[in-house]
Structure 1
Amino acid sequence: MATLRSGSHILVFPFPAQGHIIPLLDFTHRLALAATDIDLTITVLVTPKNLPFLTQLLAAHPRIQPLVLPFPPHPSIPSAVENLKDLPSRCLPALMHTLGQLYHPLLSWFQSHPSPPSAIVSDMFLGWTQRLASRVGAKHIVFSPSGAMALSIFYSLWMELPRLDDPRDQTAVVSFDKLPNCPKYPWWKISGLYRACVEGDPAMEFIKDIFHANIQSWGLVVNSFNQLERPYFDHLKRVMGCDRVWAVGPLLPLHDHDDLTVAVHRGGSSSVPLDHLLTWLDACEDGEVVYVCFGSQVVLTNDQMAGVASGLEKSGVRFIWSIKEPSVGHVEANYGMIPNGFEDGVA
């Protein structure tokens, strides 16, 4: 990345979702380590219920300061919820939209700060901060928690705005002819956020502006590496019209490599104590264990759970199956339940 200057102040603004906030905090940790010899100030913006995510980072770097702003209300989001992990995935547009209400409180903070940040590093879902950065004279850097190819497709969707000729045909193929290797996907496989877009809806127009603003940003940081995705990094440089696109991944957890147990609460509590899991893994041969996970947002239907469980049991392999705990609503709608007798059958 660009050389850090002594006396610089950077504002880091993660998006409150497991797969977004954790890698950006890991990046912030690396940023702080790289700046140990200079006078660098880092401020991390969160809402109150997301402050615990910063505990480990603040302990490792006492000079990093949290900025806690109240979570803006939204009719689709319960008053006690401030993170996508506690919401169904359909609430992503509402969460992105409501966080835009932090523009004016954050602007007031900038204007009253004796030494305001000269750069804002914000998640790709917080592109409205580019407009704020322009107003206060700061550089805006987008952080992508996932790969360059995925981001290239995201940008293409929101720039080109492809639509179905027949809305009922979910198998219609969408081609990304301007991307390297011209990837093609059936409509049902592309971003659910984009597929939910309704022309003229204020929330969706706001989200479209987010991605357009990202492309206008001063720089881009991607949690991936050139050896894996060089054609897509080159593509992103062309899209942004500059070479300020940095591959910084894969970002590793913030911990002492001799003590992995300190990372136990990164993504929430676990039904299996981490030290037990590590002891079990240490007793396994390399390449012997299959890891099964569908991400921090996905909750499978009970039929899908039964299918995965059956496959694992019949395979006879050793495995770790990471499952998002279903809410009461999920259970009532027949989602997320482990089949009866499965754990005894594979013990």
Structure 2
Amino acid sequence: MASTTSNHVILFPFMTQGHLNPFLAFAHLLERHTQFTITIVNTPLNVQNLRNALPSDTTIRLMELPFDSSEHGLPPNSENNETLPGHLYSTFFHATLTLEATFERQLIDICRRDGHPPLCIISDMFFGWTVSIAKRLGILHAVFLTGGAYSMAGYLSLWLHLQRQKDSNEFGLVGYPETFRLHHSQLDGLIHLAHADEPYFLSLKQQISLSLGSESILCNTVEEMETTGLELLPKLFGLPVWPVGPLVPSLIEPSTSRKFSRTGKEPTVSSDQCVAWLNLHPPSSVLYIDFGYQNHISTLQMMELAMGLESSGKAFIWVLNPPMEHEESVELRPEWLPKGFEDRMKERKQGLLIYKCAPQLEILSHKSTGAFLSHCVWNLVLESLSLVVPIIGWPLQIEQFFNSTVLVELGVCLEMVIGVEENAVSREVERVVGLVMGGTKKGEEMKRKAIAISEMLKAAVRDDGGEKGSSVSAIGAFFRWINQRKMLE
């Protein structure tokens, strides 16, 4: 199709909250700083949630792709993988591949209606099939990486060049220095089980590979924060990279962040209850603990974490999910925690235990919250640091280890050493919590550096009439590059 001037940008996130959130924040950033027509594409229930979260005066458009989860062997109304148990993730991923034909038909309709194709498609890395659609319709394409540059470079390199190492516990990554080594314990379960003939592995690897056939990469990071990662990405994959983060809804559009933080997951305790409990404690004295929905520690580690928290004497809010040996739907069981633990914590006002889901933003933004014990998933890291809350790192899956490495180097994270001796976890928890929150020189230094990083993150998305922030400038440079490419067609 012949292309003429267009200002229509299509955004297509994967259907999980860790991807929908940064895409939505990016749409708000584009709406604020450009004159583009912006359309977010997704399935009906996700579109409904997006619509409910958007301000009434928004210009952001939404486009539905029909999707019936029951037709794919999924529970009814399953359009977001955070609502699914782990054993259905592969089924869900394969179901998303069926969106290709409908997406292409709707794009053709847009081309006919407008008389020309959209300016570009910005799609998730798990929707590699959108690259070939873009090429067929004469639309430029960018792949959007919702994680940090360093972790995404490692994650993509690992998937594209994965070879099962049988004789060594440690191995390197293609494109990384010879001194860089990964241990098998740092890989998530999916990669551990990856076989050349496993359908889920093949499909995932294929989509990641196809996505890197794009013309460019947008990454949810900040230039000043991730110089090494931003050097690795173009070196490894031969594509220009634009750092357009931090795509944190609470920084860019606070009203949206409270309405659209976790689709399908309502907090099991009210914000008022959490705030009232936090108000009982001095500034920066409470540790927040949350490993999310899809990351689980073992039963023994949960028991040890509880003992370490109690021994530390520090106040905490802990969001509990079932340990890795149990399904996500299992109710909280007393045997997962030390006998009488919850009653003692309640009586002493030392700990607030919340099962399944908490009002995270309200907790992290409260003045009494002093540190975040986290698995180091990127979106939560950015949100925590934007609110000047240092990190205690307990990474559980591959990209989280990369993120933790970056944070430790920035001086805003202290990673716990969790090795094969699970019964030593309690001592490590007590040690690290004491270092970060015990009024030590290390804890004070982490707080100072968190303040500096918070200012850096805020400055990156600033455009108040003066000098533009680095991410706002990157967005401008990306679209100038897009328009130059269009002129050459």
Q: The TM-score by the shorter chain falls in which range?
A: 0.7 to 0.9
**Cα deviation code 1:133-187 (max 9, x no counterpart):** 1122112211222111211112212222221225xxxx72121252258532222
Query: What is the aligned partner in structure 1 of residue 292 from structure 2?
Result: 295
Kindly provide the amino acid, as one letter, of the partner of residue 31 in structure 1: L
Moved more, 189-198 or 104-113: 189-198
Selected match of 1:212 from 189, 209, 213: 209
Query: What is the aligned partner in structure 2 of residue 99 from structure 1?
Result: 96
Q: CA deviation at 1:65?
A: 1.6
Counterpart CA distance in 1 for 2:143 and 2:62 is 19
Structure 1: state its 5+ residue gaps.
none
Q: CA deviation at 1:57?
A: 4.7
Selected match of 1:234 from 211, 231, 244: 231
Query: What is the aligned partner in structure 2 of residue 346 from structure 1?
Result: 345
**Cα deviation code 1:197-240 (max 9, x no counterpart):** 22134443222121112222122122222233211211111223
What TM-score, normalized by structure 1, do the two folds share? Answer: 0.83
Query: What is the aligned partner in structure 1 of residue 184 from structure 2?
Result: 187
Kindly provide the amino acid, as one letter, of the partner of residue 320 in structure 1: I
Q: Conserved in 1, the CA contact under 8 Å of 2:25 and 2:252?
A: no
RMSD of equivalent CA atoms? 3.2
Kindly provide the amino acid, as one letter, of the partner of residue 295 in structure 2: V
Query: What is the aligned partner in structure 1 of residue 21 from structure 2?
Result: 22
Moved more, 130-139 or 87-96: 87-96
Aligned residues, how many?
334
Counterpart CA distance in 2 for 1:278 and 1:256 is 23
What TM-score, normalized by structure 2, do the two folds share? Answer: 0.61
Q: CA deviation at 1:319?
A: 1.8
Query: What is the aligned partner in structure 2 of residue 121 from structure 1?
Result: 122
Does the alignment pair 1:48 with 2:44?
yes
Q: CA deviation at 1:188?
A: 3.3
What is the 5 A alignment of 1:159-174? 159-165=160-166, 172-174=169-171
Q: CA deviation at 1:337?
A: 5.8
**Cα deviation code 1:219-269 (max 9, x no counterpart):** 2122222233211211111223233x1222222225788x77971552132
Kindly provide the amino acid, as one letter, of the partner of residue 266 in structure 1: S
Q: Conserved in 2, the CA contact under 8 Å of 1:118 and 1:137?
A: no
Counterpart CA distance in 1 for 2:107 and 2:135 is 12
Counterpart CA distance in 1 for 2:96 and 2:45 is 14
Query: What is the aligned partner in structure 1 of residue 304 from structure 2?
Result: 307
Q: CA deviation at 1:8?
A: 0.9
Q: Conserved in 2, the CA contact under 8 Å of 1:123 and 1:143?
A: yes
**Cα deviation code 1:83-122 (max 9, x no counterpart):** 1112233433332222111110011111122134221111
Query: What is the aligned partner in structure 1 of residue 261 from structure 2?
Result: 266
Q: Conserved in 1, the CA contact under 8 Å of 2:307 and 2:338?
A: no
Does the alignment pair 1:34 with 2:33?
yes
Structure 2: state its 5+ residue gaps.
347-489
Counterpart CA distance in 2 for 1:330 and 1:336 is 17
Q: Conserved in 2, the CA contact under 8 Å of 1:173 and 1:187?
A: yes
- Greater helix share, structure number: 2
- When Rg is computed on C-alpha atoms for both structures, the one with the higher figure is 2
Counterpart CA distance in 2 for 1:54 and 1:154 is 28
What SS does the aligned partner of 1:32 have? helix
Counterpart CA distance in 1 for 2:335 and 2:329 is 7
Query: What is the aligned partner in structure 1 of residue 153 from structure 2?
Result: 152
Moved more, 42-51 or 68-77: 68-77
Query: What is the aligned partner in structure 2 of residue 277 from structure 1?
Result: 274
Moved more, 327-336 or 192-201: 327-336
